[in-house]
Amino acid sequence: MIDVRPVAHVIGLVIVALGVAMVFPMALDWLAGDPNWRAFLKSGVLCVIAGGAVALATANALARGLTLQQIFLLTVFAWVAACFFGALPLVLGAPGLGWLDAIFEATSGLTTTGATMIVGLDALPQGANLWRAMLHWLGGLGIVIVAMLFLPVMKVGGMQFFRSEGFDTLGKVLPRALDISSALVQIYVVLTVACAVAYAALGMTGFEAVVHALSTVSTGGFSSSDQSFAKFSGVLEYVAVVFMLAGSLPFIRFIQAWQGEWVPLWRDRQVRAYLRWNAYAIGAIVAYEMLTHDLPLEVVLRETTFNVVSVFSGTGFTSADLAGWGAFPFVILFITGLIGGCTSSTGCSVKVFRYLILIEAVKLQLRRLFAPNAVHTLRYDGRAVDDDVLNAVISFFTLFMLSFGLLSVALALTGLEFKTAVTAAWTAIANVGPAFGPEVAPTGALGAFPDAAKWVMIFGMLLGRLELMAVFVILLPRFWRT
């Protein structure tokens, strides 16, 4: 039997922290004289009491450290608990959602998906919009920490490949996990502040700048306006491009750059491939649009760059009617969403690293076919990739595609149209944000979906965000027996 007390202890602390974080939206609404501040006070107190009680009841349980099983449980249930408690202010105050919609909204926030239940964002109290963006930001931070500290130990999806890299390279400078986390937080804060300042300097109000900076750096996608980024069309789109890209690059490289080592960032094969593939997608769509539509080059270039990077990075802001662009751009966007950002970033989906490994494996296999006796080794960035990593990458990819298929089936079963079901499954598993189809509101909100579809998407978003295997592993009966 697994001892769940250390797990409960950490989750209790996470919920306390979440409650404390509610001080920010509370203060904002209180200063604005909006009675909605009470919702944050009540929710915050509930979180601190509930989380505190659990943490206290299980104090000392952590002394012996965490086993592998406990790390899995912690990762999954920390998110589940945070999605539940993070939903409180949205039920108790504006927008006054029902439980299901509020949990959907909080899950979409904490998983950095960015699909919303709400139409009428512009009319919400500022606190509510700040809280939604903060959920993104906290979720993004959480996942980078999990990706850098837990996943390599958990060996999920081939992440063990980065274990030695992350720890070796940093070994000299940052020997302990706490140091890595604190370096991460610093960089994350610096990126967010830089983004907010740039947004404010170039035309957003202070409030909009903060909300959108929180959503951008976390590649989340919530906006404080129903228009999403169409409200900020122009130079602000280019600013967003820079910070969406930053949010989907490997944060380990930023830590190194922060220490003065810029070379690893530019030399990183994943970074190069990611930027190159973004450029290809943008180039292809721009060429197509220029040939088929009569639009000014600047508009096409800007809108294409913004929306491609938005989907590729998994942010999911929109500044144009993507579905109206035509089939070719739509298919390209759909595929970029299934690739996603780099490992140990806030980006989601399969990730560039895994495609690079898979492509190497395919090439190797093709070479083996006609030269079966030559010695072939799979290499990535000069290092040999052992079969353990390859098998994990493969399993991840298979599981991702199977999950995507099954989510589509489940969503179609709830009565959604084919296109809606497939794009909603895509947006959930890859944590992108937008969905397309007749059931989607003109603003992009998914509130009209059947209840069953919302539950399926909640499950899908968690699955995608927690790298699938972390979730599936705890569903195995054997997991609980060992």
Within residues 283-302, the interface with a copy of itself by CB under 8 A covers 288
3-class SS of residue 383: strand
Q: Cα 12 from chain centroid?
A: 23
Site for a copy of itself in 98-137 (CB under 8 A): none
Q: Which does 68 bind (CB under 5 to 8 A by kind): K ion, a copy of itself, none?
A: a copy of itself
Q: Return all residues near 176 (Cβ < 8 A) that are at least 6 apart.
A: none
462 token code pair = 């968690």
- Name which position in 230, 242, 338, 452 contacts a copy of itself (CB under 8 A): 338
452 touches a copy of itself (CB under 8 A): no
Q: Applying CB under 8 A, does 371 fall inside the site for a copy of itself?
A: yes
Q: Name the minimum Å distance from CB 110 to K ion.
A: 11
Tell me which DSSP letter residue 148 carries: I
Using CB under 8 A, pick the residue from 332, 453, 458, 461 that binds a copy of itself: 332
**Contact (Cβ atoms closer than 8 angstroms) between residue 253 and residue 265:** yes
Cα gap 68→71, rounded to integer Å:
5
Q: By CB under 8 A, is residue 1 in contact with a copy of itself?
A: no
* Least distance to K ion, CB of residue 312, Å: 11
Two structure tokens written together for 299: 């508009």
Radius of gyration (C-alpha) of the chain in whole angstroms: 22
Given a copy of itself, K ion, none, residue 397, with its beta carbon under 5 to 8 Å by kind, binds: a copy of itself
The answer to the question of residue 183 lying near a copy of itself (CB under 8 A) is no
Interstrand relation of 379-380 and 383-384 (parallel, antiparallel or unpaired): antiparallel
114 scored as a contact of K ion (CB under 5 A)? yes
| Cβ-based nearer residue to a copy of itself, 24 or 459 | 459
Which residue in 12, 127, 142, 221 binds K ion (CB under 5 A)? 221
Long-range contacts of 412-415 (CB under 8 A, 24+ apart): 413/452, 414/449, 414/450, 414/452, 414/453, 414/456, 415/450, 415/453
Q: How many helices and strands in the chain, by DSSP H and E? A: 23, 2
For binding to a copy of itself (CB under 8 A), which residues are involved?
68-69, 72, 154-156, 288, 326-328, 330-332, 335, 338, 358-359, 361-362, 364-372, 387, 390-392, 394-395, 397-399, 401-402, 405, 408-409, 412-413, 415-422, 469, 472-473, 476, 478-479, 482
For binding to K ion (CB under 5 A), which residues are involved?
114, 221, 314, 316, 433
